């Protein structure tokens, strides 16, 4: 057996190109369906974990998938705003508690999300450096965002202007970093958190009469005007709107109990302006669609596997024909027919074994890369 393995390995080394084609063809055929199933499984677990930790989302009438996904993962979907009074009314009903979210702003393309301090307790987020009890103009930075932007406590970061054609004339705000969050392995790691009041300042709904505009150079050397909140001018900032009429994007709702959940669902079912969505149900709908797509690809992979096996079989048959003289010589010098068959079988087994090892490596690498993008749960 030892000699047979040696002979088989030497033959594979001599025909490097042919052997590499066989190994890579089998590797991709094995790795792709396995990796896709494992990644989708990991993706589903990630979605379910965050959805199960977030009972309901309250928002404006519209696409329910956009509402839930953006509220959970702070994506780019354009959502209509609701009023803070809508959230306050729910809390006054005593059937549940609410944590409002204000989305839509960015700083260096990282989402800036306005939340009350209660959000950190709800998500079990804590600071690795600094604190999370922010005031107007303060920002708490997720761990990955801090690493990407190279931020530390005491630094400042300028928010992005929403549009070059912003008719409201709102200027960016130079935010003060007061805390860096511990890694949580969730979407919160990639976010800049501010107070709701700071989000309204970014909206242009707050002004400080004692706040002179500052300016700095952008990437093109042009001056960019911005606001900056300091301990000296913070008290001069005030809302140019009634507090109850200030906008929020959505609110995380936690019912008091099952009865409260039923009452709240009934209350908002027929609302013309608001919708209340149970996160876990929405995520299950999305995953059901993903499973349907996966089923299609599974069928496709079956045909790919059949084609690959036929291709390997063809190469083996042609190789046997080309090696006829070689195998005849081996029989003349004493090798039995069983030995020559065993030699060819060993060569094929080694190819399959190498393909299997590479498939495992590719699958693990794919899971690691996917984990960097799926740590949103």
Q: What would the pLDDT profile of 339-376 be if each residue is shown by its tens digit? A: 667 777 788 888 888 888 998 888 888 777 776 665 54
Q: Which of the residues in the chain have pLDDT under 70?
A: 1-3, 77, 163-170, 208-226, 322-323, 326-328, 330, 332, 334-337, 339-340, 371-377
* Residue indicated by tokens 């700095």: 216
For residue 216, give the 3-state DSSP assignment: strand
**The pLDDT of residue 83:** 92
Distances (CA, A) of 77 to 66, 71, 104, 148: 6, 10, 9, 23
Q: What pLDDT does 313 receive? A: 79
Looking at residue 377, its pLDDT comes to 45
DSSP secondary structure, 163-194, as one string:
-TT-TT-PPPEEEEEEEEEPP-SSGGGG-EEE
Contacts of 317 (CB under 8 A, 6+ apart): none
Q: Are 251 and 84 in contact (CB under 8 A)?
A: no
| Whole-number pLDDT of residue 41 | 83
Residue 215's pLDDT is 59
pTM > 0.85: no
Angle of helix 16-52 versus helix 2-14 axis, rounded to 10:
90
Q: How far is CA 22 from the centre of its chain?
A: 35
Q: Residue 142: what are its φ and ψ, rounded to 5°?
A: -65, 155
What pLDDT is stored for residue 335 in this prediction? 67
Question: Cα angle at 185 between 183 and 191, to 5 degrees?
Answer: 70
Q: In which element (H, E) is residue 259 found?
A: helix 258-269
| Tokens coding 153 | 């406590």
């Amino acid at each position: 057996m030892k000699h047979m393995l040696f002979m088989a390995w030497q033959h594979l080394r001599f025909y490097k190109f042919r052997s590499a084609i066989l190994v890579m063809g089998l590797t991709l055929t094995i790795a792709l369906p396995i990796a896709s199933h494992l990644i989708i499984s990991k993706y589903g677990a990630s979605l379910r974990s965050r959805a199960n930790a977030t009972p309901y989302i309250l928002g404006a009438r519209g696409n329910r998938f956009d509402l839930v996904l953006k509220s959970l993962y702070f994506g780019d979907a354009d959502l209509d705003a609701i009023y803070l009074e809508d959230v306050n009314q729910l809390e006054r009903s005593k059937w549940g508690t609410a944590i409002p979210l204000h989305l839509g702003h960015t700083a260096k393309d990282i989402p800036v999300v306005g939340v009350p301090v209660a959000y950190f307790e709800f998500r079990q987020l804590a600071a690795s450096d600094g604190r999370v009890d922010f005031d107007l103009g303060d920002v708490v930075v997720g761990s990955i965002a801090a690493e990407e932007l190279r931020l530390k406590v005491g630094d400042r970061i300028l928010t992005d202007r929403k549009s070059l054609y912003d008719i409201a004339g709102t200027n960016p705000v130079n935010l003060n970093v007061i805390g860096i969050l511990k890694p949580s392995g969730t979407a919160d790691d990639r976010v800049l958190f501010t107070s709701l009041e700071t989000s309204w300042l970014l909206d242009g709904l707050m002004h400080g009469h004692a706040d002179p505009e500052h300016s700095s150079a952008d990437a093109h050397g042009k001056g960019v005007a911005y606001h900056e909140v300091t301990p000296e001018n913070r008290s001069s900032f005030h809302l140019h709107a009634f507090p109850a009429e200030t906008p929020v994007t959505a609110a995380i709702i936690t019912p008091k109990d099952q009865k409260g959940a039923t009452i709240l669902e009934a209350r908002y079912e027929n609302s013309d302006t608001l919708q209340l969505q149970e996160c876990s149900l929405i995520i299950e709908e999305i995953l059901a669609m993903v499973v349907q797509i996966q089923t299609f690809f599974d069928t496709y992979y079956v045909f790919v596997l059949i084609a690959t096996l036929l291709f390997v079989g063809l190469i083996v048959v042609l190789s046997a024909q080309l090696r006829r003289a070689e195998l005849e010589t081996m029989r003349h010098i004493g090798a039995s027919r069983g030995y020559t068959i065993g030699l060819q079988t060993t060569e094929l087994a080694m190819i399959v074994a190498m393909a299997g090892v590479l498939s495992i490596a590719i699958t693990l690498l794919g899971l690691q890369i996917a984990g960097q993008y799926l740590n949103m749960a």
